[in-house]
Amino acid sequence: MTKSELIERLCLDQSHLPPRDVEFAVNTVLDRMRQALITGDRIEIRGFGSIGLRYRMPRSGRNPKTGDSVDVPGKFVPHFKPGRLLRERVNQHSSKPKHDVPNGHDN
């Protein structure tokens, strides 16, 4: 689901709210979450999951075009950890993902 699709569905569910207000609310929530992560805070939404930062150590990689060795610096990356309730509900109600994901990984 994209952000636009989320806004559309919320507008359908909450037809008494103007679409402009729904879009503003979604953008405000996402902006606050983004700012929390930028400042190093952890986001926790009970029943859904948490988003925090994980540090990836510096490593040696390869340039795919030339095959040359490249030093990849360490960096922080956002990491989502689903809550227990979300994991249970997904496994109860999902028979197959809408988009096939090989080996259960999205990347």
> How confident is the model at residue 93, as a pLDDT?
76
Query: 3-state class of 14 per DSSP?
Result: coil
Q: Are 60 and 69 in contact (CB under 8 A)?
A: yes
Q: Could you please state the CATH topology (level 3) that the domain comprising 1-41 is classified under.
A: HU Protein; Chain A (4.10.520)
Residue 106 pLDDT more than 80? no
Rounded-to-integer distance, Cα 63 and Cα 42, Å: 33
Identical fold at 1-41 and 43-97?
Answer: yes
Number of other residues whose CB lies within 10 A of the CB of residue 60: 8
* Helices within the chain (DSSP H only): 3-13, 19-38, 84-93
Mean pLDDT of 82-97: 85
5-34 pLDDT, tens digit per residue, is 999 999 999 999 999 999 999 999 999 999
Domains of the chain, residue spans: 1-41, 43-97
Class of domain 43-97: few secondary structures
Rounded-to-integer distance, Cα 107 and Cα 99, Å: 13
